[in-house]
Structure 1
Amino acid sequence: MQSFDLNNIWEHILQEAKKNMQHLPDALYLRVTSSLIPMSLESHSIHIGVMQTFVKNLIDQQPQISKALQDAITTVIGSHRDMVLFDFNQESVDTTFVDESLIDDAPVVAPPMPLPPVVEEKTHQEEFYKPIYQEPVYIDRAPAPVEIPDEPMVAPSKTVETTTPTLQSDNVPVDLSLSNLNPAYRFDNYVTGNANRIPFGAAQNVAEYPGGDYNPLFIYGPSGLGKTHLMHAIGNAIKENHPHMKVMSITSENFMNIFVETLQRNQGKLFRNTFRNIDVLMIDDIQFLESRESTKTELFNTFNELLNNNKQIVLTSDTMPNDMEQFEDRLRSRFQAGYIATMENPDLETRIAIFRSLLEREYKKNRVIRIDNDSINYVALQFSENVRVLQGAFTKLIGTASIDQRLESIDLEYTKQALAGLVHTEEVNMVTIESIQNFVSSYFNIKKQDLLGKKRKAQFAFPRQVAMYLCRDMINESYPQIAAAFSRDHTTILHAYDKITKEIERNEETKNMISEIKQKLTTCG
């Protein structure tokens, strides 16, 4: 009896559906198809799980979408199969009790059918232009639009033999490892800094060598720091570096819902065959996995099976394994068996870099934007909780400026006005070159004219170098701008920055002093 690859069939269906939905926006196609997971293919129907309720409602209420999917199914399979949708989030799915005995009795239905021929695809990755952060951002020219060619279509077979499906052995694996990866989350558009340098390095290693030293990889950090972005970047890079590998990216909630759904449909072994025949399993927000004993047992057994076969596991969480009291010790120990990479809140320099990367995205949309450095620094200072909050402030600023027709003249005064409703009652102190010069002079108890002067005595030269370093490190001013403010050439600023950087690395006292100055600069009036 010939086995089949349901995931392969599903990929063909998605390609055919894309052809049928060409008249609809690409974003709508991606929004719909990224929420669908094929569950099983039966004699008269194909069962598809939907991870988001609004997507199921959209398909049900929009005939052009449902018809595009149904026609694609018929074209690829060669005969009509009813499309049956299951909403994993609907209340009708009773998760209060599951008969665990079902896990040993679930048959897997599979029709013996030839797959349609596959046309070799040439992947296209949109080029990402990394900004250079030494100059103020003045986006004042409209570049030629970036043309991204449509993805190659897979030609369905003109004649696909139709046969009556029969039951296959329970041991035949059915691959449901649809990646569900967000293609926008990549390594090349992930802004790194001291706060996420280690997780980023570990993630790159996993993408290059899945199943290697960092297995499982446990990415820990508070909400809104980019854990999901990094996890999806791993999956996208693995699909590019190792096209033969099957990658499953899923939230803990959907993992549980699929498990419950397959058991209630008497397809427990389908779940096992699905999650134990993939090469990479990535679960987002593992801390939200419910404390149901059957789910935890299945997760533990799945982990053992994958790790024993050198398959890669990636987990994200805002809770450390030791603090996950809902899990028993054997599961927590599995989380800790690999590498725990900790993310922290981004520092000021990283937040500025993130803001500028968001500006670059607007630039690629042909938007004409002019914004001064003071405005960028202000936003980065005021919105320091996490990346998500910073992105929200950016969206509010650019959206308001667009409405007010101020995109070409965003200054500090306008920025404060536009973000007034979002800024905390006590604003973080605005840091500028002048404020750094004033504070450093006071901190070292020297006159400002000596800080800016030519005297080379250590009591003046060291504070001067500290001030130059802070102008670059804290507010990311360009070397020429700092040089002009200190009446020096830019090579002097480079030397000062390198010297203080090395001093911080080897001298704990200097490191603590710089941290103290930074804190007081941003909090003291």
Structure 2
Amino acid sequence: MVRPDPQLKDRLLHFIRNNHIGMFRQWFTDLEPLGIESGVLTILVKQDVHRRYLENKAIDTFQEAAQAVTGRLLGLKFVEEGELESPLLPAAHTDQQTVVLSPDLTFDQFIVGTNNQLASAASVAVCDRPGRSYNPLFLYANVGLGKTHLLQSIGHRLNTTNSSIRWMLTTCEEFSSNFQEALVHQNVSEFRSRYRDLDVLLVDDIQELAGREKIQEEFFHTFNALHQAGKQVVLTANAAPSDIPQLEERLISRFSSGLVTRIEPPEFETRVAIVHQKAKTHGFQLSENVAAFLAARVDGNIRELEGALTRIHSLHVLQQLPITLDLAKIAIGIDDGDAPKSSTPSIQDIMDAISHYYDLKLTDLLSRRRHKSVAMPRQLGMWLARRYTRYSLEEIGSYFGGRDHTTVMHAVKAVTKRREEDESVASEVQIIEQMLLGEQESENAA
């Protein structure tokens, strides 16, 4: 085997960073090119889960990179250390998942907040005591809130803590497809053995059973066979069992017989932590202000946050721009750099002025902290936003850490009252307005 150029690894990673930004992961730096033999580049992978992910999701990317940086038409092979010692022995696997585990979706990388605390704790519990804790476990949430992350985290934990456990991670669609193929090829008994001779069955998007009578019948018996044998079943869906349309009552009853828990949208502090974690996964860091800005502006699902991070990282890498608040604004479509500066302040201008005047971090201003040193500036920010922008109460609340309209209404009334009764508060308001509008405009607005 021809030893590769010592700089080959750096060149491969540089190519992927610049040409496949969304694909790059920080753990790619642990990969080691071993050499080239018979036109095949061999790369050493430390963990089995990484190898499987690379073979299923990234082999074309690495092959393109290898050919680009070497100028040669190369094949690619990922190996683990055990194969180097005994190349004729394939790696042994005790799981049968039809879904490839993502190294990004582990318990260590799952950010726990008040929105998902019970779901996270229950998922860990079923790994420690499969079949005896929360059986079945039914997790439901809107798209992009972490139910699939938890399902994959269970798979990772089962892989690393108990090699004797037989488990499968699949999707409802895959279950349906496999059953239909079994009917066509007349090997239903083999299909049933595959799905029922398990210790743990993990099924994503079980709501896809809706309206499929034959599939519901088969899954009902599969569920019963596992549950009656004391085996663990974990299901995810986009709705609670009773809210899934065209689902048989007996399945609703079975799914509801264990723990049913909802994952709510993450609060502001949790979103900030998620932003930092996702950036770290992709090999870069964000300042607190940038993370807070993204968490405040992108308050939908986690996939939207990831999309915003990918755009920021792309601009950073491809255009060699520093990751600043201005870059973050451009990345999510707020690019007013070429437009004339409006005399009317934006909500971001107000947040910046409040943070600067009271020496607060943006993360604190938008957090759930209720201490007077934070709560009063936050209320003032809402009051200014109501006075100087056209946003509704609901929209202002969303910008200020996802608060509802009644909180904003209370803040406006509280600041108006304090401003009238306390000269020091009135003075602070005037100073901040001057910072936002300029001396003359502040006088005119008073």
Tell me the TM-score normalised to structure 1 length: 0.52
Matched, 1:411 2:324: yes
| 1:81-96 mapped onto 2 (5 Å cutoff) | none
Counterpart position of 2:314: 399
The answer (yes or no) to whether the contact 1:215–1:339 under 8 Å persists in 2 is: yes
The answer (yes or no) to whether the contact 1:377–1:475 under 8 Å persists in 2 is: no
Could you say if the C-alpha distance between residues 471 and 413 of structure 1 is closer, same or farther in structure 2, counting changes exceeding 3 Å? Answer: closer
Could you say if the C-alpha distance between residues 515 and 294 of structure 1 is closer, same or farther in structure 2, counting changes exceeding 3 Å? Answer: same
Counterpart position of 2:52: 30
Q: Secondary structure at the match of 2:42?
A: coil
| Cα-Cα RMSD | 4.4
- The offset of 1:469, in angstroms, is 11
The answer (yes or no) to whether the contact 1:178–1:248 under 8 Å persists in 2 is: yes
- The offset of 1:378, in angstroms, is 1.4
Counterpart position of 2:8: none
| 1:277-426 mapped onto 2 (5 Å cutoff) | 277-289=197-209, 291-362=211-282, 365=283, 371-407=286-322, 410-420=323-333
Q: Secondary structure at the match of 1:23?
A: strand
The answer (yes or no) to whether the contact 1:291–1:326 under 8 Å persists in 2 is: yes
C-alpha separation in 2, matches of 1:243 and 1:519: 56
Cα distance per residue 1:287-340 (max 9 Å; x no partner) = 113533221111000100100111111111002111222221001111111101
C-alpha separation in 2, matches of 1:399 and 1:413: 14
The answer (yes or no) to whether the contact 2:351–2:362 under 8 Å persists in 1 is: no
Cα distance per residue 1:224-248 (max 9 Å; x no partner) = 1111111010111122222100110
Could you say if the C-alpha distance between residues 347 and 207 of structure 1 is closer, same or farther in structure 2, counting changes exceeding 3 Å? Answer: same
Cα distance per residue 1:4-55 (max 9 Å; x no partner) = xxxxxxxxxxxxxxx99753797996358559xxxxxxxxxxxxxxxxxx9x
Matched, 1:265 2:199: no
Cα distance per residue 1:234-269 (max 9 Å; x no partner) = 111122222100110001111111111112111010
C-alpha separation in 2, matches of 1:433 and 1:205: 43
| 1:196-275 mapped onto 2 (5 Å cutoff) | 196-275=116-195
Matched, 1:152 2:65: no
Greater share of residues in helix:
2
Ranges in structure 1 where 5+ consecutive residues have no aligned partner: 1-18, 36-53, 55-62, 70-148, 159-174, 439-451, 453-466, 486-512
- The offset of 1:471, in angstroms, is 6.3
Could you say if the C-alpha distance between residues 224 and 325 of structure 1 is closer, same or farther in structure 2, counting changes exceeding 3 Å? Answer: same
Q: Which residue identity does 1:208 align to in structure 2?
A: D
Q: Which residue identity does 1:411 align to in structure 2?
A: T
Counterpart position of 2:364: 472
Tell me the number of residue pairs that the alignment of Structure 1 and Structure 2 aligns. 318
One of 92, 103, 115 as aligned partner of 1:183? 103
| 1:18-167 mapped onto 2 (5 Å cutoff) | 23=42, 30-31=52-53, 150-153=80-83, 155=86
The answer (yes or no) to whether the contact 1:217–1:314 under 8 Å persists in 2 is: yes
More RCO (CA 8 Å, sep 6+) = 1
C-alpha separation in 1, matches of 2:312 and 2:270: 19
Q: Which residue identity does 1:383 align to in structure 2?
A: V
Ranges in structure 2 where 5+ consecutive residues have no aligned partner: 1-36, 61-72, 337-344, 378-402, 416-435, 437-446
C-alpha separation in 2, matches of 1:473 and 1:514: 16
Cα distance per residue 1:94-151 (max 9 Å; x no partner) = xxxxxxxxxxxxxxxxxxxxxxxxxxxxxxxxxxxxxxxxxxxxxxxxxxxxxxx944
Q: Secondary structure at the match of 1:340?
A: strand
Tell me the TM-score normalised to structure 2 length: 0.60
Q: Which residue identity does 1:412 align to in structure 2?
A: L
Could you say if the C-alpha distance between residues 156 and 372 of structure 1 is closer, same or farther in structure 2, counting changes exceeding 3 Å? Answer: closer
C-alpha separation in 1, matches of 2:156 and 2:178: 23
C-alpha separation in 2, matches of 1:278 and 1:374: 48
Could you say if the C-alpha distance between residues 246 and 28 of structure 1 is closer, same or farther in structure 2, counting changes exceeding 3 Å? Answer: closer
